[in-house]
Structure 1
Amino acid sequence: MTRIDFYTKVADPAAFACRLAATVQRKGEQLFVLLPDEDALGRFSTRLWSIADTAFVPNCRFDAPEAAQTPVWLGLSAADGVSRKVLLNLGDAALARPGEFERILEVIGVDDASLARARERFRQYRAAGFPIEHHDMQHLKP
């Protein structure tokens, strides 16, 4: 059954999401990152390619010619990543069919709007019967 991890009260969601993507990739798992729009996709890809001075996370769009050899795919629809095991949801809503992934990662900021969206997503996943792990990240330095 799909496991869902909520990382809440994250001071810098984009930086944390990059570190999370790097961790998943380092473990050898296939990751699909769902983003809300093309601009967000481009910004996140750039961040992954320059995560640190000497580190990067190889990534491409799910439909790129090199996708079969790339561990991290980026896209705008969860349906585009169904062959991946882990989904990092940086989109605006809960997934319509979360059971298509083994694990879903939700990164939630500290602002009221992000927390409200997280509560709604949490309710939807819980109502569907998915096991949920909550990780309060407010202690983490950005």
Structure 2
Amino acid sequence: MTRIDFHTNVPDKIAYACRLLRKAYNASSSSNASSSSGAKNRIVVMTEDGAQLAALDAALWSFSDVDFLPHVHANDPLAPDTPIVLADSDSVELPPADLLVNLARRAPVQFESFPRLIEVVSTDEDDAAAGRIRFVAYKRQDFQPTHLSVGKS
């Protein structure tokens, strides 16, 4: 069953996603072990739309002078071999991965094919309301989502 974690009260989803991806990528790089699912420690990020995907893509290239986070769009031919895959649509085929990070206001259709899902919810009222709806929906499906408040309340 997919482990679901909500990271809420996030002031800036793009900046937070960059830090979260750096942490997850560094943790997976240091382990050098493939998962049992064949996901090879891959991380998939689902964005709200093309604009958010473009903003995240640009931020991943520039957020740190010392860290490089290899990433491609899900429709890129290199996606099956790249550690971080970015998507903005549930209709694209996603490669196997150990972690799905959701920046969108909707639950990813394919979330149950991932061992772990992190839902990133901002301080924006509409985003927070959508996050609460997803939290309740996951509980109704017998998942046990956990909650971490990132920003100050």
TM-score normalized by structure 2?
0.83
Structure 1 unaligned runs (5+)? none
* 8 A contact 1:24–1:30 mirrored in 2: no
Q: Higher mean Cα deviation, 128-137 or 88-97? A: 88-97
Tell me the equivalent position of 2:128: 115
Please list, as runs of the form range in 1=range in 2, the aligned pairs for 1:20-35 lying within 5 A after superposition: 20-28=20-28, 29-35=41-47
- Aligned mates of 1:97, 1:81 — CA distance in 2: 8
- For the residue of structure 1 that corresponds to 2:10, the secondary structure is coil
> In structure 1, which of residues 42, 46, 51 is the aligned counterpart of residue 54 of structure 2?
42
Q: Which amino acid aligns with 1:59?
A: H
> In structure 2, which of residues 100, 117, 120 is the aligned counterpart of residue 104 of structure 1?
117
Please list, as runs of the form range in 1=range in 2, the aligned pairs for 1:57-76 lying within 5 A after superposition: 57-76=69-88
Deviation at 1:111, TM superposition (A): 2.0
Deviation at 1:31, TM superposition (A): 0.6
Q: Higher mean Cα deviation, 16-25 or 89-98? A: 89-98
- Aligned mates of 1:14, 1:53 — CA distance in 2: 17
Q: Give runs of ≥4 in structure 1 deviating > 3 Å.
A: none
> In structure 1, which of residues 52, 74, 99 is the aligned counterpart of residue 64 of structure 2?
52
Tell me the equivalent position of 2:3: 3
Q: Which amino acid aligns with 2:122?
A: G
TM-score normalized by structure 1?
0.89
Deviation at 1:82, TM superposition (A): 4.9
* 8 A contact 1:35–1:75 mirrored in 2: yes
- For the residue of structure 1 that corresponds to 2:69, the secondary structure is coil
RMSD: 1.8
- For the residue of structure 1 that corresponds to 2:146, the secondary structure is strand
Structure 2 unaligned runs (5+)? 29-40
Pair 1:31–1:113, CA change in 2 (3 A) = same
Pair 1:134–1:121, CA change in 2 (3 A) = same
> In structure 2, which of residues 137, 140, 145 is the aligned counterpart of residue 127 of structure 1?
140
Number of corresponding residues: 140
Tell me the equivalent position of 1:83: 96
- For the residue of structure 1 that corresponds to 2:6, the secondary structure is strand
Tell me the equivalent position of 1:15: 15
- How many percent of aligned residue pairs carry the same amino acid? 32
